[in-house]
Every structure is written in C-alpha cells, then in structure tokens.
Structure 1
Amino acid sequence: MKYLIISLSIIILLILNARKRPKPTESDLSHKFFPWMQLYYASKYFSPVKKAARHSRLEEYFRNMKPPVNREPLVQSDEVKLHAAGDLMIRTEISRGNPEFLWSEIGETLFDSDLTFANMEFVVNDSNPIDKTIRFSMTEQQAEVMLGDRRFGHFDILSLANNHINDSLYSGVKSTMTYLDSKGILHTGANSSPEDVDNFPIVERKGIKTAFLGYTFSTNGIPLEKDCQHATNLIRFNALKESEYDPSLIFRHIELAKQRGADIIVASLHWGLEFEYYPPERIVRRGHELLEKGIDIIVGHHPHILNPSEWYRTSDGRDTLCFYSLNGLTSQTLPISAQNTGEIAEIILEKGINSKGESITRIKDASLIPTYFIRKKRGMRSRHRIVPLFKIIEKLNNGDSIEYLNPWNRIQLRYAHREYVKYFLQEAFHRK
C-alpha cells in the first residue's frame, strides 16, 4: 500500500508538471523498465511531454521549417498524388461500427489520390483472435471496416512493420498477408520467407515508380519464433547506443530499389517515443542519414501522438521529407484530445524534363491535413468518425448544425484545434 501511494503521488506530480522534459528511454517493452521509468511512462500516457530535450533546439528548428523555393520548373511533366496516413488502430468495439460512419467525413479526402498508404497496426487471424490492452489480432470480418469504404475507395498499400505484427505469432503474420492479398491491397514490412525479405512493392502510377519499404523497432517483447526471424524487418531505431543501431538492411533495400528502377523511395518507419511531442535527437539524426542514403520520404509511426514534420535537403541536392509521426487515423488510447489528433500527408510527386534535357523525378509539394477521431457509441454499436479537424472547426465557428456532435465532442475538438495550432502547425506544410 505504501509503495502504491508513493507511485500514485509521483505520477500525479509528473502529470501536473507541464514543463517536463523527455527522459532517455527506448520505449520498448522488450527492455525492462526501472520502476522510475514505469512511473514516467504512466505519467506521459495521461499528460504528454510537450517540450523537446533540453539544449536540442528542436522546437525552434521545426517551427522555422520552410518548403523548397526557387526550384527550376520541369516541362512535359506528370504528377502523382500520394496520401500517407498514420496508424490504423483497432479494438473489437471499433470493428462493430459501420464504415459509413467511420469514413463518412474523411473518406472523400483520404482516398482522392493516386496512391493511399497507412500503417496497419494489427494482424488478421481468424484462428487466433486477441483483443487485449496491447495485443490486437482481429478476424477478417472485424478488419473489414478499417480498410476503406465502398463509396470512396480503399488503401492501396499498407505497412505491416510495427510492434503489433507478431501479436499472434508467425501464423498471424502469414494470415494477414494472405488476407490483404485477397483484397488486392499491397503490403510491405512483413515477409513470408527469408528470401522474401528483399522483396518489396514498387508501384507505378503515370510513369512514376515508387518503392515502399517498411521497418519496425520492436515487436513488443514478443520474440520472433526461432525459424521465423524473417517475419518482419527489425531495426532498433530507438536504441540509446549507436552500437545497437544497425541500418544495414535499409541501406541494402535502398540500393535494390534503385536497381529495380524506383524513381521515389518511401520508407515506413515504426520508431520514436510514445506521448512525446518531439522526436529524440538520435531519431532526427538517424532519419537524416537515411534520407542522405537515398530515401525520399519517411513516414513515421508509433508515438500515438503527433510529431513535427520536415523538409530536408540532402548533400546531393534532393528535397526530401520526414514525417516523424502522423499519429493515427483511429486510436485505442485514452479519449484525450492530443492522442486522437492525427494527420494525412498529401505529397505531390513530379516527373519531367529539366533545362538540361534530363529526366527528373522529385517531390513537388507536400501539405498536412489534420484529422480528429471522434468516439461515439450507441448501445453495442460504435459510431466513431474520423473528421477533418480544420473543416469541422470552421463549421462550428460558422454556427453550422452538426448532428453527430455532443457538447463533450465540441469541447474536445476546440481543445485539439488550439493544441494543434500551438504545437504542430508548420507554415511549410499548411496552405493559407
């Protein structure tokens, strides 16, 4: 009892400390936390860390981010619109919902693209359904609602490289890939054999070939089975020691993608620290190294909260993108505004001829569309919705009637909007 009282007291003090800074941790359940770190983690769950590490200057760096300017126009060009979203999180009660509610407000925007991509953070395994606090293995029927909507479309490609891919072991990895194959949805980051590790999708749209790679820092302390080490692409992005971080697999895949004719390389990276507004410096440094090596777009997942995004010019003059965390389209955490606010990245790829007569493929433009996950239930049926945050706030400000919002939803939305504008609105990614 004494220890419980002390623990609760420490958690409360940490929650009330609005100026707290991030602590050095890998955020990995396969590494045992000291009791202090357990308390710190619990406090972040209720009250996120809103400041970057001391002396990092990351807050200023991201706040002053600018898009590329004065670039030479291309002629005879074609454009491809890529939409990248965050985590697709699911619980049984979400799966009981009607997709006509879930996608009704965001589906037209999300699926209006040449390619739509997200991180599928659960497995599909009819033989072993699991719905626990941090393990998600769903039936095919339950998964159906998460993949899209007949009115608007569905995801073209999903990353499976995340800390939940092994939740029902290798049988779940295989059944998930089989299920997505049956739906005509491409996937990356999970593998059916050791030889399959070097196979990843390269998708062509309007003459632009885009490779999709996927990697995860952890499988939540559930080890890959002895003969199934190939199941997912494990890279210890969050490692505190440089000696424990080995990106050689990514480097190999970058070279293979180039050899196979990819014009653009997208990497889905499951990395970062939960419930912290800024990535650790080591994550930023490792992201820059991967962009320098040849990745064009990093789509980050895992922190269950937004992180800033970045335009980064490489030493060879390429304008690249890193979205450190887009959070989730859906959420299974607490109904706290910051944990239910996500983003859709809209990226315009361009291929054309420059003044030297050379064929060039590049990122022409990028913008962010903030979203909010509204949770509503009627009896045993969920009526959750993903909504475009700025548009819904504009309607509220105009006094428009929105029948599905109750007073608590309105309070949450306004708070989420204020928090987004204060911490995450970047001029480089938002249209005026």
Structure 2
Amino acid sequence: MKRATATFGLLMLLASGCQSEVEATAKDVLFLEGMKQQERMERSVDSNRFQLTATICAVGDILIHDRVYDDARVEGGFDFSPMFDNVAPYLQAADVTIANQETMIGGEALGLSGYPAFNSPFEVGDALKEAGVNVVTLANNHTLDRGPQSILNALDYWDELNMTYTGAFRNKEDAKDLRIIESQGISIAILSYTYGTNGIPVPNGRDYLVNFAEASFMAEQIREADKEADAVLVALHAGEEYVDFPNQQQRDLVQLAADSGATAVIGHHPHVLQPIEWVEGKHDHDMLVVYSLGNFLSGQYDHPRRVGGIFTFDLQKLTGKKAQAINPSLMPTYVQFDEGDHNYQVTPMKDLTDYDLPDVEKHLDDVEAHMSQWLPELTVTRE
C-alpha cells in the first residue's frame, strides 16, 4: 500500500509542471532543514544528559613495621605480594585505587627500620602496584623519619614503577606539578596533607619535601585544583591516634576542603576506623568524607588497629558540570597473622570464619553501625 501511494505521488508531481516542482522542492528543503534542526536539538539534549562515571577505591595506612618486612623476606629481597592476595581483586576492580603509604620506601641501602623511625623496602611498592594500587599519598607524620634521602629514594622508585605519588616531592618544580589523572573521561586532581611530622623539622629551604595541612596553603591548592580538574580528592593525615571519632582539627580542615571545592576527603592517621558523612560546603556543594580508614596493613596487634576498609565510591560527571561523589560503600578488612608474626595477610572481614576471628558477625555489625551512623545510606559489604 505504501509503495502504491508513493508511486501515485510521484506521477502527480511529474504532471504538475515546473512551477509545482519548484514549490515541492522548496517544501522538501524546508522539511529537511526542519528535520536537521530537530536532530541538532535532540543531540544537544542528549549531550546535556551525557554521563561519565569513574570508580574510586581508597585504603588506609600501609604501615610497615619491622615484623611485617621480616615476614616478607625471601631469598634476595622481599615479597609482600602474598599479603595482598585476598584483597587484590577488589583493588584491581576500581578505575583509580589510592593507598596511604605511611612509611617511606627508602630501600635497604639506608638501613631498614620500624617504629618509631620507619624506612621500608622498595618491594612494598611492587606489591602495591601488583595488587592494583596506582596512586600513593605520602604526606604523613612519618614522612621525614629517615630524612630527605629516604624520601628521594622512595620517589625515584615510585617513578620507576610509573605510579603517581603526591604529598612529598623532590624539588619545588615537582611540588608545583599538580597531580591530575584521567580516568573514564574524568580529570581527577589528588592532593595530600599532614598535620605534622612528629616534631622533625623540615630542612631549611626544602619545604617541598612534605605538604603540611596549613589552612591557607590547603585552600589555595584545592581552589586551583578545582579550576583545573573535574574532581578534587584530598588525602588528609590528621586526628588523634586510636580515637574512634574525628577531633575539631579534622572537622575544621574537612570543612575548609569542602568550602574550597573538594569532591571528597580521605582521612588517615588515627589507625582505627572513623565514620563517613557528607559535608556541605559553600554554594550548596556536598563533599564526601571518611575521617579515617584505619590501618590497611600494619604490625599493630590490638583488634581495632587490625580493622581497616576498602572505601569505594563513584565519580559521576554530567556534561558541563563538575564531577560528584556518589554510591559510597565500605568493605571491612582485617590483618591476619599467625603466632610469631608470620603469614601477614589483609583479608575482607566477610571472608573470615569464627575460627579466624571469633564472633566475626558481631564485629561486622559493629563496623557497619560505627561507619554508617552519619551516613545511613552507606553500603557495607558483608557477603
């Protein structure tokens, strides 16, 4: 039927003469132009709705005590990879995975050491990269433990591994180089700051060695990063050790970050978990914050210091807008080791049995209640 109608229309057009043909052609042109305009409008609408998403994963302190690196000793060096085998699939699943490398990997030549002045093997970096970590934050209270050479050795090794580092730098130019990584079409700036360095002074003229959490300095850098990138992630090393809730210093610095345009703050230093919440900044800007992710891998013995977490969220970006953090979730982890400080492993708490950790379900209940008390929509992975 449609074919017959089209044929009839064509015969009528041929019979109508030159004038009708011109009029028909003009109408066709107008019709086609109208269709093109409609298509352009539809593309514009679709463009405004276009959505980019990148998954971010963050873990807490990598705190390499001497008993941890002793357990990693193998012939000719160290192998920390088995310690991350149980969590590597989750770290590798994210687009960007960030770890707080609290101890400098200055290498054996400087002499390895644990608490109170840490210096760790280079091979820690190899294990983190293999496990899926691609960004390390370095500004913390132990950055200057073994002096500038330990920092420089560590930075050289992170460069060898082609891993992004921030928070400690080799010179002024390095410190001015804003760390922006691209993932899934989203540009992400990553900054790192510490409240202090255990009283160890920065050598004269070498302030670039570590970023301090000074309000004006932080605000300026975060605002600059906000201009340059779609999202700004801030690693903040602050708070009181072994305390379950943020102190006023943490809250003040977190509010400063929100007001300056940060997308999320990832907290470290207390060595125990502290809750997650949204913080409203200026201009109705909601920022995601976890005040402390605890220890991810350490040689600390007390139960709360063995509990950490894999914190995951999505960065969602609409065309023409800044990225926002959405879908926060936490997978609680636990540092296992055998008697005599052997076989250190980081394991998702959901995979533990009562033999591994008596009353493991109650411990999961406690973590979920603690971490979600200010963020009821937080997903805590238990299966």
Question: Is the shorter-chain TM-score for this pair beyond 0.5, marking a shared fold?
Answer: yes
CA offsets per residue over residues 372-394 of structure 1, 9 Å max, x none? 111226x78x31111111x225x
Answer whether contact 2:191 2:233 (CA < 8 A) is retained.
Answer: yes
| Match in the other structure for 2:24 | none
| Match in the other structure for 1:254 | 222
User: What displacement does 1:130 show?
Assistant: 3.6
User: Is residue 2:267 matched to residue 1:267?
Assistant: no
| Match in the other structure for 1:384 | 344
User: What displacement does 1:164 show?
Assistant: 1.0
Unmatched 5+ stretches in structure 1: 1-73, 236-245, 398-406
Answer whether contact 1:300 1:322 (CA < 8 A) is retained.
Answer: yes
Amino acid at match of 1:248: S
CA distance in 1, matches of 2:365, 2:377: 19
Aligned to 1:410, the other structure's residue is in SS state: coil
Match of 1:135 among 92, 117, 120: 117
Answer whether contact 1:337 1:416 (CA < 8 A) is retained.
Answer: no
Bigger Rg, which one: 2
TM-score in terms of structure 1 length: 0.70
Answer whether contact 2:187 2:231 (CA < 8 A) is retained.
Answer: yes
Match of 1:114 among 95, 111, 130: 95
Answer whether contact 1:312 1:319 (CA < 8 A) is retained.
Answer: yes
User: What displacement does 1:247 show?
Assistant: 1.0
Amino acid at match of 2:87: I
Answer whether contact 2:261 2:281 (CA < 8 A) is retained.
Answer: no
User: What displacement does 1:255 show?
Assistant: 2.8
Answer whether contact 2:239 2:249 (CA < 8 A) is retained.
Answer: no
Answer whether contact 1:105 1:388 (CA < 8 A) is retained.
Answer: yes
User: Is residue 2:251 matched to residue 1:284?
Assistant: yes
User: Is residue 2:198 matched to residue 1:230?
Assistant: no
Q: Is 195-204 or 340-349 further displaced after alignment?
A: 195-204
CA distance in 2, matches of 1:109, 1:266: 20
Answer whether contact 1:338 1:416 (CA < 8 A) is retained.
Answer: no
CA distance in 2, matches of 1:169, 1:309: 34
CA distance in 2, matches of 1:313, 1:273: 23
User: What displacement does 1:209 show?
Assistant: 0.3
Kindly report which structure 2 residues correspond to 1:91-102, keeping only aligned pairs within 5 A, or say none: 91-95=65-69, 96-97=71-72, 99=80, 101-102=82-83
Answer whether contact 1:341 1:416 (CA < 8 A) is retained.
Answer: no
CA distance in 1, matches of 2:314, 2:149: 37
Aligned to 1:428, the other structure's residue is in SS state: coil
User: What displacement does 1:315 show?
Assistant: 3.3
Aligned to 1:184, the other structure's residue is in SS state: coil
User: Is residue 2:61 matched to residue 1:87?
Assistant: yes
| Match in the other structure for 2:312 | 346
Answer whether contact 1:272 1:302 (CA < 8 A) is retained.
Answer: yes
The verdict on how the C-alpha distance between 1:349 and 1:165 changes in structure 2, with shifts beyond 3 A counting, is: same
CA distance in 2, matches of 1:282, 1:217: 9
Amino acid at match of 2:51: S
Answer whether contact 1:337 1:412 (CA < 8 A) is retained.
Answer: no
User: What displacement does 1:134 show?
Assistant: 1.6
Amino acid at match of 2:343: R
User: What displacement does 1:211 show?
Assistant: 0.2
Q: Name the one with the larger helix percent.
A: 2
CA distance in 2, matches of 1:88, 1:146: 11
Aligned to 2:110, the other structure's residue is in SS state: coil
TM-score in terms of structure 2 length: 0.78
Higher RCO (C-alpha 8 Å, min separation 6): 1
Match of 1:304 among 262, 271, 282: 271
Amino acid at match of 1:187: Y
| Match in the other structure for 1:57 | none
Amino acid at match of 1:420: V
CA offsets per residue over residues 44-83 of structure 1, 9 Å max, x none? xxxxxxxxxxxxxxxxxxxxxxxxxxxxxx7221210010
Answer whether contact 1:307 1:326 (CA < 8 A) is retained.
Answer: yes
The verdict on how the C-alpha distance between 1:252 and 1:145 changes in structure 2, with shifts beyond 3 A counting, is: same
CA offsets per residue over residues 136-189 of structure 1, 9 Å max, x none? 102324x2464143xxx4311100101111111011111111110001110000
| Match in the other structure for 2:5 | none
User: Is residue 2:347 matched to residue 1:369?
Assistant: no
Aligned to 1:123, the other structure's residue is in SS state: coil
The verdict on how the C-alpha distance between 1:194 and 1:114 changes in structure 2, with shifts beyond 3 A counting, is: same
| Match in the other structure for 2:357 | 410
User: What displacement does 1:256 show?
Assistant: 2.3
Amino acid at match of 1:336: D
Aligned residues between the structures: 325
Amino acid at match of 2:292: S
